[in-house]
Amino acid sequence: MADSHPKMETTILPVDARKLGRIYAVPSTREDDILDDLAIEVDEHNTDAKHLLRAAEQLKHSNIPVAFPTETVYGLGADATRSEAVRGIYKAKQRPADNPLIVHFASLKQLTDLLAPSQATGIKALTNGHTLDIHDDDPIPAIYRPLITKFWPGPLTIILPNPPNSQLAPEVTAGLATFGARIPANLLALALIKLAGIPIAAPSANAGRWWRVFGGVL
């Protein structure tokens, strides 16, 4: 009798971020931006770089999640813009479909590129009952700027309104009008997200079948 549950293989790709090549922050147009954009020049002949490029390609084209380190725990990541890829996270973790995912970005530019196309000058977004002023020259609500300056890159998640016609797969937000955004401080995570060129949805890489987030409190 054929096995109805095909086996999945785990591939471990060791990567030393110090051997990838040149990774640096692009000078910001705002004085208070710590990481406006990230640039990476990898040595494609280096084994570590090859491994990271392979993981980035997996994120872009596969529906199988990729585990990667952050400054706190390992994340289990998938392309946040593709429903089938995001569903791979829920399947792997046996995670309830009403439990939204945090979206990881490599830079503020990547985040604002996701937010900006649908924003208009002076729009007021409602987030958890609070009104946030958003302007087309800066789609990130001004109230978050001091927190971003102080804590990003790092283990801080901010809750943002999910824009109309959002690029994010609906499974990421679990039907909510908002999503959680984070820029990790781990250099390997930043390089992976930058090379993939897509926002990465990722919960912690544990067997969190019964873990839940209540009331939007992170």
| pLDDT tens for the chain, residues 1 to 218 | 444 444 567 889 999 988 888 888 887 666 655 568 888 888 888 999 999 999 999 999 999 999 999 999 999 999 999 999 999 999 999 999 999 999 999 999 999 999 986 444 444 444 444 444 544 567 888 899 899 989 999 999 999 999 988 999 999 999 999 999 999 999 999 999 999 999 999 999 886 554 443 333 33
Per-residue tokens: 79: 């392309």
Name the H helices within 98-186.
108-115, 145-151, 170-173
Cα 5 from Cα 19, distance rounded (Å): 38
Residue 198 main-chain phi, psi, to 5 deg: -140, 150
Predicted local distance difference test score (pLDDT) of residue 33: 56
Per-residue model confidence (pLDDT) at position 215: 33
pTM summary value: 0.82
Which residues are bridge partners to 66 per DSSP? 77
- At 50, is the secondary structure helix, strand, or coil? helix
pLDDT of the residue at 32: 57
Nearest CA to 62 among 200, 180, 174, 166?
Answer: 200
Note the pLDDT of residue 122: 40
